[in-house]
Amino acid sequence: MAEKYVVIANKLEIELKKMRAEGNMKLPSEQSLALQNSCSRQTVRAALDLLQKAGLIEKRTGSGSYIVEESKKNKTVFLIMEDCDRYLSPALISGLRSELASSKYVLKAFSTMGSSKEEAKVISRAISEKAAALIIEPVRDLIPNANDSLIEEAMSLHIPVIYLNSSEGPYGVVHITPDYRKAGKVLTDHLKDLGRHDIACIFCSDSSAGMDEYKGYIGAVPDFDEGRCLLIPHKEEKEIISGNDDILTSFAADVLADCDAVICQNGMICHRLVSLLDKSGRKTPDDITVACFDNGYYSANDSILSMGYDNDFFCRKLAKTVTALAEGSTPKLLVIPVNYISTLSN
């Protein structure tokens, strides 16, 4: 159960909205609040300190506590990604920045290169600057995060934390993600409609996106055979994308020789795989169909079957959720439905 002062702070935060709407910017005295909440002035003071740290109120010596004017509130949204310049990230950042600007919010994007220490620095900065919201696109959300305590601290200070493209994470974060499980099923079903029935897959084992896609694949693939599944940690995915073809070469020789299709988690893996298959004499898509879950430039060719969400729609929904959270609403989950995923195309 939450500490008494936290309960009072949450109650007061709701009351602040009503007071603002009525044009009343001054809070009752500490003594009045103590009587209203049947607690000590020390407990009330701790609750007010929490609201002050969150940038919701300001204390004026000899006068009392006041609601912070909207013009003084931080309108900066922090976005943490592994690499802001990588693949689909620039389009997301550009679209989100544009959507947030229409509501007078500013987006700051930070790259961590997968380092938890770098992530900690950005989260700490968001806390110190009292950011309007903090968006994190986790690299490995199925393993413990060393920065969970910092994330909890941000949320305790009423900084909304949003996990992007993820269905897992610390308690209290808001998740915004495409319906990857449904997408996995839709893509597998589409391959079956094309006459492909020996379908392999390559997914990341330490990300919820990869495992949700894998669950959709399992539910749709005929005669499931785990021997056709290559589940790799993020570290090995980075090695593949960086040009280390050992893992894909072995998988292509040992598994894909007997398959007529393979689903990859993203276009970057697809791109490497198509090149290897071509060198081995197997033509795509005639001999084997290579498919993935994004429609970025790596998959924008006739050799790859791609499926990706509508970036403009995603950015609109993300910006709307972020601003609602920053202004006091409490949505917990936003799943982008599969019918908003772009049309499958070769």
CATH of the domain at 26: 1.10.10.10
HSE value, Cβ hemisphere, 13 Å, CA-based, for 250? 7
202 and 274 both lie in a single domain: yes
What mean pLDDT is reported for the chain?
90
Spatial distance between the Cα atoms of 208 and 214, rounded to a whole number of angstroms: 10
Q: Is-contact 309 340, C-beta < 8 A? A: yes
77 sits in which H/E element: strand 76-81
Residue 327: helix, strand or coil by DSSP?
coil
The pLDDT value recorded for residue 333 is 66
Tell me the three state secondary structure of residue 68: coil
Q: Residue 304 is which amino acid?
A: I
Query: 93 with 173, same domain?
Result: yes
User: Are 321 and 173 in the same domain?
Assistant: yes
* Domain end among 71, 97, 129: 71
Segment 283-340, tens digit of pLDDT? 999 999 999 988 788 887 788 998 888 889 999 999 999 998 988 776 656 777 766 6
**Distance separating the N- and C-terminal Cα atoms of the chain:** 54
- CA pseudo-torsion sign 35, 39, 45, 50: negative
Q: How many domains does the chain have?
A: 3
Buried-state track 124-159, b at ≥16 Cβ within 10 A, e below 16 = eebbeebbbbbbbbbbbbbeebebeebbeebbbbbb
What is the b/e burial string over 286-302, where b = at least 16 CB atoms within 10 angstroms of the residue's CB?
eebbbbbbbbbebbeee
Q: Please tell me the predicted confidence (pLDDT) of residue 234.
A: 94
pLDDT given for residue 206 in this prediction: 96
Residue with tokens 């900084």: 159
Q: What is the CATH number of the domain that holds 276?
A: 3.40.50.2300
Q: Is the pTM of this model over 0.85?
A: no
345 belongs to a structural domain:
no
Cα separation of 110 and 171, whole Å? 23
The residue segments making up the domain with residue 90 are: 72-179+312-339
Residues 152 and 244 in one domain: no
pLDDT digit string (tens) for the chain, length 346 residues? 468 888 888 888 888 878 887 888 898 999 999 999 999 999 999 889 888 877 788 888 888 898 887 656 789 999 999 999 988 899 999 999 999 999 989 999 999 999 999 999 999 999 999 999 999 999 899 999 999 999 999 998 889 999 999 999 898 899 999 999 999 999 999 999 999 999 999 999 999 999 999 999 999 998 899 999 999 999 999 999 999 999 999 999 999 999 999 999 999 999 999 999 999 999 999 999 999 988 788 887 788 998 888 889 999 999 999 998 988 776 656 777 766 666 565 5
Q: Across the strands, what pairs with 230?
A: 202
185 and 295 both lie in a single domain: yes
Query: Residues 80-96, buried b or exposed e (16+ Cβ, 10 A)?
Result: bbbebeebbbeebbebb
Same domain, 225 and 274: yes
